[in-house]
Structure 1
Amino acid sequence: MVKPISLTREWRGTLIAAGGMVIVSSLAFAILSRVGEGIAGGTLGVISTVLLAGWLLMQLWTYVVRIGQPKHQVVLMGISFIQSVPFLYAAVYSSFGYSDSCVLGADRSSEFLYFSYVTFTTVGYGDLQPVGMCRGLAVAEAVTGYILLGLFVSAAVAVASYERHSKT
């Protein structure tokens, strides 16, 4: 039987990382979605895009290299899939501004978030359309969704397989 103290110690780093991902992505979205039209635009958008790319590479490295246990990978990837990555992409879309310079038809932060989830999950309703540099960003978000979903499924299968074999 596993003691609750060791369970907490085992999961401490994963829970801190998960909390950090939620806080960083929520703050990025909250801050960048409130940037005025005078500040938003190409330069801020490019800087935000570069920071997003760095964040995603760091996250991928963390999943593949640093997190050795599939259970922990599943938790972190689940949080990334559900909240962190779509919020970060929505923050970057917002950093380009609301004057149809990034996503046609998006004039509120909630619409950028909606567009991000629709793109990330590759649903693609077509009611909002990326333009300019954001077209490439939307493609990158869809590819990120594919990769993250693949990693999430493989980690979940590894956990299920381990659980099944350890019971026999």
Structure 2
Amino acid sequence: MSQDPNSLEEWKTTLLAAAGLIVVSFIAYYILSRLGDDRAGDRVGSIATVGLIVWLVSQTWYYMTQVHSPRRQLLLMGISFIQVVPFLFAAVYGSFGYYDLCVVGAKTSTDVLYFSYVTFTTLGFGDLRPVGMCRAIAVAEAISGYVLLGLFVAAAVGIYSRNRTS
């Protein structure tokens, strides 16, 4: 695999990985955020939280150790920043259930997705708020938003500065 991909063939594996990230996060969100009140709750939410932690650690390890091209890192981190991480956190919030069990004021899956994006970007409008264990999950999401944005900016600066000097 080329260090600096230029052709579509060299980008193929990275684009497949990016598509895989999007599909997996959407499926997780779709399934977990639509659980009925009889199935959602602390047990399912806790399992989803552990799965999310494993995913975040594995993706961080992958970006830092296996992806050596700054352009590939930028693409994968951009997709994570825009879609994957907020969707996965929304899936976790939804897996705890609605009607003020996890996010006060969230009644539907779109409410938890909105809350996830507001938390991930650290915007924090205040119209929805986490309770119980979801407070810790919201803190983790805000921190991952800071970290991912920092890595994204670092990769973009690395590409820009390398292209300017060559």
**TM-score, normalised with respect to structure 1:** 0.94
In the comparison of the two structures, how many residue pairs are matched? 161
Q: Are positions 1:44 and 2:44 aligned together?
A: yes
Tell me the secondary structure at the aligned position of residue 29 of structure 2. Answer: helix
Counterpart residue number, 1:106:
106
Residue of structure 1 equivalent to 2:32: 32
Asked whether 1:90 is paired with 2:90, we answer yes
Does residue 137 of the first structure (1) align with residue 131 of the second (2)? no
CA distance in 2, matches of 1:11, 1:57: 24
Q: Which residue of 2 aligns with 1:147?
A: 147
CA offsets per residue over residues 38-71 of structure 1, 9 Å max, x none? 0000000000000000111111111111100000
Instruction: Show the counterpart of 1:3.
Output: none
Structure 2: which amino acid aligns with 1:70?
Answer: P
Specify the alignment match of 2:56 in structure 1.
56
Moved over 3 A (4+): none
Identity %: 58
Give the gaps of 5 or more residues in structure 2: 1-5
In structure 1, list runs of 5 or more residues that go unmatched. 1-5
Q: CA separation in 2, counterparts of 1:64 and 1:9?
A: 23
Matched with 2:74 is 74
Amino acid at match of 2:128: L
Q: Distance in 2 between matches of 1:40 and 1:99?
A: 11
- RMSD (CA atoms): 0.8
Deviation at 1:99, TM superposition (A): 2.5
1:67, 1:13 → 2: CA distance? Answer: 11
In the aligned structure 2, how far is the partner of 1:24 from the partner of 1:75? 17
